[in-house]
Chains A and B, each alone.
Chain A
Amino acid sequence: MKLYCLSGHPTLPCNVLKFKSTTIMLDCGLDMTSTLNFLPLPLVQSPRLSNLPGWSLKDGSAFLDKELKECSGHVFVDSVPEFCLPETELIDLSTVDVILISNYHCMMALPYITEHTGFTGTVYATEPTVQIGRLLMEELVNFIERVPKAQSASLWKNKDIQRLLPSPLKDAVEVSTWRRCYSMQEVNSALSKIQLVGYSQKIELFGAVQVTPLSSGYALGSSNWIIQSHYEKVSYVSGSSLLTTHPQPMDQASLKNSDVLLLTGLTQIPTANPDGMVGEFCSNLALTVRNGGNVLVPCYPSGVIYDLLECLYQYIDSAGLSNIPFYFISPVANSSLEFSQIFAEWLCHNKQSKVYLPEPPFPHAELIQTNKLKHYPSIHGDFSNDFKQPCVVFTGHPSLRFGDVVHFMELWGKSSLNTVIFTEPDFSYLEALAPYQPLAMKCIYCPIDTRLNFIQVSKLLKEVQPLHVVCPEQYTQPPPTQSHRMDLMVDCQPPAMSYRRAEVLALPFKRRYEKIEIMPELADSLVPMEIKPGISLATVSAVLHTKDNKHILQPPPRPVQPTSGKKRKQRATDDIPDCKVLKPLLSGSIPVEQFVQTLEKHGFSDIKVEDTAKGHIVLLQEAETLIQIEEDSTHIICDNDEMLRVRLRDLVLKFLQKF
């Protein structure tokens, strides 16, 4: 069993598992942190961004000044943002049979895999994952396509040139493989390859393995996967949460008794408690608005935003914010808010029971009804007519490199009354803000990551007790900035195996059994013999029939009597396996003392016994014969005396059982 690790990002995994005869890709996350190296794409012409000075090398050569721009001491690529794809060279991706998706954040690289690698398999995901994943992709494509940029920078990617660039461009990895965003057509084509599944649904893959999605508690429709054969079980835990938020709670019990547990997608901010962060978010939001400032919340169109809106629903009246407008701006805002209300079966129990009342499960419906929350596809159009300040704006993209958020950063960045509150943990907020410096607006970092922290992982592992744990290398050591925090790493016995990008792991686990069915008529013909109390053996002569990874023992065909014609005879011998008369199988051990006594009874004298490392040697000095008795073999070595050998053999066989 092998694991090919195609992504180094612990929360945006992409791994390929070769298990039995199947090749299974586990998630295909897209690392978008590469976009932080690019200049933002402004929706409205920004004189500041368009007039940034070009960057030149130390020796004064300015051939890169069209591609690289300098802003507040940082250098950015002035081009369409590009993404860092999973490894495509480590394994031939056309051999991948299936792709299992665990949540909508972990499928963003899907079009690159399904459309450009020769992939011909099936993708499995739950319905909310697909629908919300589609929204995320649609938003991404929209954000990038609506600000067309003629220029495409490639010079800087030259390895010799990249070496000369300042950090972080100098340290960016695999820049040659970075790709532009996919098109909507590619998205549609990729999504058409998805087959929808429900929690606990068992899906047979070629009869060899069975895969089952389980609720992971992190997002709408998010799943962990069980991949099992008759005798082996691999659990894939990706992006799970034990907190009580909107999705269905995590199914932990089904993860028990795994041979291997592949653990990815833990919280990116293990030191921040989500409850405390929500409190910070609300307090800072209220303080800003009370002072007449605006609040900007860069976010994804789905996920934590539902919980934030629910919190604000409870909070705004008590904080005296009832008259403050909340705007949600995204090309998919409407769909996201509506989709969340219809996936009742994927929600937590409380929200499910609301549906039967009937009430909308999320209170943002009421916020929309009372006009406290308004949503728009973009800043253009209706929004510009309705826009009132002070206000709170939720919009994307959290990287601050594209989307409507770029406009608000440009608009509000100069006033210290305004605040930008970062809630998404995927991007370093300092790096995200770099092209907007100098910035007067306040910045608050309240990352809300509900995924498992290390204490929860430790409890989970104690509970489900896998034989082996495999996880990204980042989880096997404390974070580099807090190297003393031994509590911020996966702690289990035996220690977890770690992987990194472009690594192939042989999983520490060997397949020892295979299930084979026996046809009833063959079973009838067996004559078991009890060799130990409770253990019976029988010899079987049969034909092993294998089809679709299922093995069946069938009775051997009866030897056909040769009737006529040489040709026919020849065919018969071809079909029938070589069924020679089998020697009986032996079992048991030879007690040396009794064996010697028996030899003496049968007239052998001058017997000498020697102990060896593996057993004993019985020496019949007179007969010049040696009997070598070992655990799994007995040899009689005599000098061309077949009679003696047969006699001795029969004496040895007296001590063994035959069947």
Chain B
Amino acid sequence: MAPTVRSAWIQGLHSLAQHPGALGFLADLGAVDRLLTLQGDPSLFVVTAAGQLLVHVLGLALHNCGPPCGPPLDPQWPLLASSLLAQLEEALQPASTPQLLQALGVLTNAFTSCPAPWAPALWGRLRPAMTCLLEGQPLQAPHALGDLLLAVARSPEVVVDLGPWEMLALVLGRLEPSQGGQLALGVLQLPECPQALRAQAFGVLLQPLTCVLSTSTDAPGLQELPPSAVGGSASLDLLLASRSACVGLLCCALARLALLPPLPWRPSPWPQAFLLGAVVAVLRSCNGHVPISAAGGRLCAALVGCERVQRAALDLLGALAQDAGPPELVLEVCGVLLEHVDSPDSSPTVLKKAFQASLTWLPHADKKPHPCGLQVPAQLFLPELLQVLRKRLCSPSWEVRDSGLEFLTQAASLWAGQADFRQMLQASEVPPLARQLLRDPESYVRASAVIAVGQLSSGGLWAHPGDQQGSPLEGLLDMLDTDPDAFPRRAILQVLTAWLRDTHGPLAAHPEPLLARAFQAAGRDPDWEVRARGLELAREFLVQTLGRIGVPCPYVPTPLLDTPPADTQALHPACRTRLFEFVFPALFDYDRPVARAACELLLLLRAQTTTCATPPQAGDTPDPATVEAALHCWRTGEAGRPLGELVPQAVLAVLQALDLDDLRGTLADGSDHAEKSPLSLLQDMLAAAGAQGHNQVDCY
């Protein structure tokens, strides 16, 4: 039997086992035994599905019988759960490796899904087998064992017991430094954990970096480390054993450490100086600058030019920016970041990471001074960074230009309010260069340039004293009409929406003619995302002209229904921009997201206008036949405007003629809803029966 059939059989059983009553049926049929056998299936999909079903069956059995009865650690187990657990316990024998791995996997998942009151009992039952397993030499399936112990440790009902902590410490101690990283990270991610175990786990993660720093003549912050982090020459030899081992181990350690700084329960004291020193040393080694020692030379030979390590180290450096550090180290960090941003050998991906890390190390406008009272020397760093950015925006590699523009956008959004930044940026040639990139041959770069230019304009950073080119708005609208690629056009509509939201932005004065152009261009755009973004723009415009429709901010105290209904007069600006000529046809767009967005927009508008205080005056309202004709035109995409130019009354008439609620329901259906419906199944069955010529149903 093919694995797909076995997999489908398990899926079928899974569907069946949704009701407690099915458990007895499954047990009687021997399905649980079969599922246990399938744990040894050659197909990974089958093994996973069988494991999931076993977990589900166990959870359901426990859930079904309510809270445990009898002594807390030795309650009366439901029969099915008991027999299942007995078989799993049997597999927890050190000798049976494949079954052991699968049993550990099932039990790990069982702990996350079993009813909370049963968790201590489950742990109490498994504990002897686990103890026995941990005594085995060598340690069997250490990673799966660690995962199970972590799952146990995550159950709040169990952690009162010291058992899992002791076992975790034991496993961590028995693993090689190169193997224990994932378990150590799991331990450190636990919100509650004994301090000693936390220190042990942190030591495991820090050890590769300790080795790196030990090759340097200057090793800051070593005294801050837990003793377990300080490895001997043996660990260094292990690290330097081969290039691939060294790179792999360092990448993993750096990536895991980067996850720790945001955790509220991160290890304390946090060895910020050590980590900064180590990351700087790693990055320097990757660039070929080596500390004067033989081991440093070997490390450099292994790491020089290694992009993977560079990327991981830059990520960690970015994550470390939430704290400061000794001023000399901060200077070194800025230096090494600048080196990476400037180096011609930095690959585009490394450059992007270096830009991102630089952003985090530059002072935020609203950031308080660092606790130690030291500011990142932005006055030195930023001008140099802008000089390099200037060069990077001229790079022949489009990825580099793109990363440069992204950095510019983010920097402008973060520090537009800072006078120093404004001055430095305007003194550099960066803004005109960004504008020039609106004509870049690469569409991604043009899109990023659009966003950057939009950000510079809304931040008021555009007004360069010597800039004769004026506002880029006209240029963007021309691009919306003419750009052959969709990415820049999408970006333009995104920028227009942002500008419209900003009351002081470039669109603040006389937006209507410009928006009319934008809606017209969006309406005929072949790309559905451009049309969808056009609808976002339309919605934003309606929000502004009709007052607050929809709930743009969930924390606004006044409920929507209390706002006064819109006057038909309020629809005039929207009509002047020909917004409805764009929105109504979009309702029938072949691309469902567009149609849904248009539908939602009109539903909100209808909610605002149906309770309209001023009833439409007779004679202004178009007759239903004309409205129907207009709807037909929009539905079929035919040319023709039976309603002429849409005036507020016509808009309201169309709104009333449309069954928007029904349309919303239809649009909410998945594209495969027809195939998945019972009707379709029945049709399939009948068709199959008809084709066979027999009056019997055999669907699968």
Contact = CB atoms under 8 A, between A and B. Distances in A.
A487 to B, nearest CB: 4
B416 to A, nearest CB: 25
Contacts of B288: 271, 482, 485
A484 B439 contact: no
B345 A320 contact: no
A279 B440 contact: no
B125 interface: no
Contacts of A291: 429
Interface stretch (B126-134, B394-402, B461-469, B609-617): B394-402
A126 to B, nearest CB: 32
Interface stretch (A53-61, A182-190, A309-317): A309-317
From A272, A315, A446, A484, name the one whose CB has the most chain B CB atoms within 10 angstroms: A484
A278 B397 CA distance: 10
Interface string B253-292: 0000000000000000000000000000000000010101
A625 to B, nearest CB: 65
Interface in B302-359: 304, 343-346
A276 B429 contact: no
Interface string B593-634: 000000000000000000000000000000000000000000
A286 B344 contact: no
B445 to A, nearest CB: 9
Interface string B38-77: 0000000000000000000000000000000000000000
A320 B391 contact: no
Given A278-B396, A317-B441, A283 B298 contact: no
B296 interface: yes
B300 A485 contact: yes
Interface residues of B, number: 28
B400 A279 contact: yes
A279 B439 contact: no
A421 to B, nearest CB: 12
A286 B436 CA distance: 12
Nearest to B439: A320
Interface string B437-461: 0011110000000000000000000
B344 A276 contact: yes
Contacts of A282: 394-396
Contact of A485 (B297, B345, B395, B400): B297
Interface string A315-331: 10111100000000000
A394 to B, nearest CB: 17
Interface in B129-149: none
B301 A276 contact: no
Interface string A13-36: 000000000000000000000000
Interface string A278-312: 11101110110011000000000000000000010
B489 interface: no
Contacts of A317: 441
B390 interface: yes
Interface string B375-419: 000000000000000111011110010000000000000000000
Contacts of A482: 288
Given A273-B344, A486-B298, A486-B301, A320 B436 contact: yes
Given A283-B395, A287-B394, A276 B292 contact: no
A277 B396 CA distance: 11
A555 B394 CA distance: 80
B343 A286 contact: no
A283 B390 CA distance: 9
A183 to B, nearest CB: 42
A319 B433 CA distance: 9
Interface residue tally on A, bucketed by range? 20 to 34
A486 B395 CA distance: 32
A422 to B, nearest CB: 14
Contact of A286 (B300, B394, B440): B394
Interface in A552-608: none
Contacts of A314: 396
Nearest to B390: A287
B292 A318 contact: no
The winner among B301, B394, B439, B440 for most chain A CB atoms within 10 A is B394
Contact of A279 (B297, B397, B433, B442): B397
B440 A485 contact: no
Nearest to A315: B396
B429 A290 contact: yes
A486 B297 contact: yes
A295 to B, nearest CB: 12
Nearest to B343: A276
Given A272-B344, A486-B301, A318 B441 contact: yes
Interface in A307-364: 311, 314-315, 317-320
Contacts of B296: 484
Contact of A446 (B290, B344, B390, B397): B344
A283 B394 contact: yes
Contact of A283 (B290, B396, B440): B396
Nearest to A318: B441
B396 A272 contact: no
Contacts of A320: 436, 439
A486 B303 CA distance: 12
A315 B441 CA distance: 10
A309 to B, nearest CB: 13
Nearest to B392: A283
B345 A272 contact: yes
A487 B345 contact: no
Interface string A483-498: 0111100000000000
Contact of B440 (A273, A311, A318, A487): A318
A487 B345 CA distance: 17
Contact of A484 (B297, B343, B346): B297
Contacts of A277: 344
Contacts of B304: 485, 487
Given A290-B429, A291-B429, A319 B300 contact: no
Contacts of B390: 287
Contacts of B290: 484-485
A272 B346 CA distance: 11
Nearest to A274: B344
Nearest to A276: B344
Nearest to B342: A280
Please indicate which of the listed interface residues A277, A284, A290, A317 has the most CB atoms of chain B within 10 Å of its own CB: A290
A487 B396 contact: no
A277 B395 CA distance: 11
A457 to B, nearest CB: 14
Contacts of A318: 396, 440-442
Given A485-B300, A485-B304, 17 more contacts: A273-B344, A276-B344, A277-B344, A279-B395, A282-B396, A283-B396, A284-B394, A287-B429, A290-B394, A311-B396, A318-B396, A319-B394, A484-B292, A485-B301, A486-B297, A486-B301, A487-B304
10 contacts: A272-B344, A273-B344, A276-B343, A276-B346, A282-B396, A283-B395, A284-B394, A290-B394, A314-B396, A484-B297
